[in-house]
């Protein structure tokens, strides 16, 4: 049913280094109603080495449907990679036209495509001719301002674009300042395809207030800090009360332990555990735990050590609650 739906969609944003299969499966276990995007994946690398598709486009049954996001600048490479993604069960292909990272833009990828509308349109046209699944775009308000957002998006729609997600900041803003959703609402009025908003959604109240005329919201950084936020937003859109709005961490332990096990599974344990440390550090901060606990979190090197640290988080939170 992607990207059209009878009620507002809640979407996990594509985030480099985060939205790999283990994290996506973790999110889906927490809230099955969420639509998942992969982290952005290199169209050129995959097109040149198709065997990599098995690794990059891996989708597990318990996370479906998943939209694969690609980045690059070569229309032919996008076409090849999109077809490979479709063959491996992707629910759709999304083109990254919004990443503001210097190393990405320097290669004319990501946000740079906003300044080359002819190339952006050619990419969409080539992919649409190659696949039957929906083709969408995630981009920003514009380079310096939102003056060209509607003309740019209309051109993409003319090429057959199925939906578009707008992050409410310009390239120049990066992630500074407050996201501006007003141009996104105006864009929705100008297009006939679904339009989704992204940027600064950190509560169900804000999600409902900012939804306005849009077809759904995409949540990024706040979902890393609090995956259960997505559940609360889904409930807010469905106008149903959330019985477990703020669970104690001990109730969340099974989910986190399963996530850790999936992260380590099938790979080199030490490297996987090192990569998992970023989640533990974020939890230390969000739970307000001590520096000593953080030291343990940043030194985990086995799955058992991750589980021990997660158990410690739960006990520390309970101790703090008693003291309070």
Report the sign of the C-alpha dihedral through residues 293, 279, 110, 143, in that order. negative
- CB-based contact 63:35 (threshold 8 Å): no
From CA 139, how far away is CA 95, in angstroms rounded?
A: 9
* Catalytic residue flag (residue 121): no
> Which tokens go with 124?
């969409």
Interior CA angle at 232 toward 221 and 290, to 5°?
55
Say if residue 258 is exposed, middle or buried (CB neighbours under 10 Å; 0-12, 13-18, 19+).
middle
- Please identify which of the residues 99, 121, 234, 273 carries the catalytic annotation: 99
Return all residues near 10 (Cβ < 8 A) that are at least 6 apart.
Answer: 31, 33, 34, 35, 207, 216, 217, 219, 230, 233, 234, 237
Say if residue 36 is exposed, middle or buried (CB neighbours under 10 Å; 0-12, 13-18, 19+).
buried
Query: Which residues belong to the active site?
Result: 99
């Amino acid at each position: 049913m992607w990207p059209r739906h009878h009620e507002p969609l809640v979407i996990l944003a594509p985030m480099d280094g985060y939205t790999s299969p283990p994290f996506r499966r973790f999110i889906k276990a927490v809230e099955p109603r969420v639509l998942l995007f992969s982290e952005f994946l290199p169209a050129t690398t995959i097109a040149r080495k198709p065997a990599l598709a098995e690794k990059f486009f891996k989708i597990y049954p318990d996370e479906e449907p998943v939209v694969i996001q690609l980045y690059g600048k070569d229309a032919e490479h996008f076409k090849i990679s999109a077809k490979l993604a479709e063959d491996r069960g992707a629910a759709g292909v999304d083109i990254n036209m919004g990443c503001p990272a210097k190393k990405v833009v320097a290669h004319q990828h990501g946000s740079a495509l906003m300044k080359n509308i002819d190339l952006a349109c050619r990419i969409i046209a080539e992919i649409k001719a190659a696949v039957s699944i929906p083709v969408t775009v995630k981009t920003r308000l514009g380079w310096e301002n939102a003056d060209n957002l509607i003309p740019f998006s209309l051109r993409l729609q003319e090429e057959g674009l199925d939906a578009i997600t707008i992050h409410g900041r310009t390239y120049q803003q990066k992630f500074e300042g407050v996201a501006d959703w007003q141009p996104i609402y105006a864009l929705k009025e100008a297009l006939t395809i679904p339009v989704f908003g992204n940027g600064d959604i950190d509560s169900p109240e804000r999600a409902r207030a900012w939804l306005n005329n849009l077809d759904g919201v995409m949540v990024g950084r706040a979902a890393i800090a609090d995956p259960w936020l997505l559940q609360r937003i889904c409930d807010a859109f469905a106008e149903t009360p959330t019985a477990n709005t703020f669970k104690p961490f001990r109730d969340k332990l099974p989910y986190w332990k399963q996530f850790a096990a999936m992260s380590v599974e099938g790979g080199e344990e030490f490297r996987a555990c090192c990569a998992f440390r970023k989640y533990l550090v974020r939890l230390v901060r969000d739970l307000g735990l001590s520096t000593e606990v953080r030291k343990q979190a940043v030194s985990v090197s086995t799955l058992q050590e991750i589980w021990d640290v997660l158990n410690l988080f739960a006990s520390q939170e309970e101790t703090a609650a008693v003291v309070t």
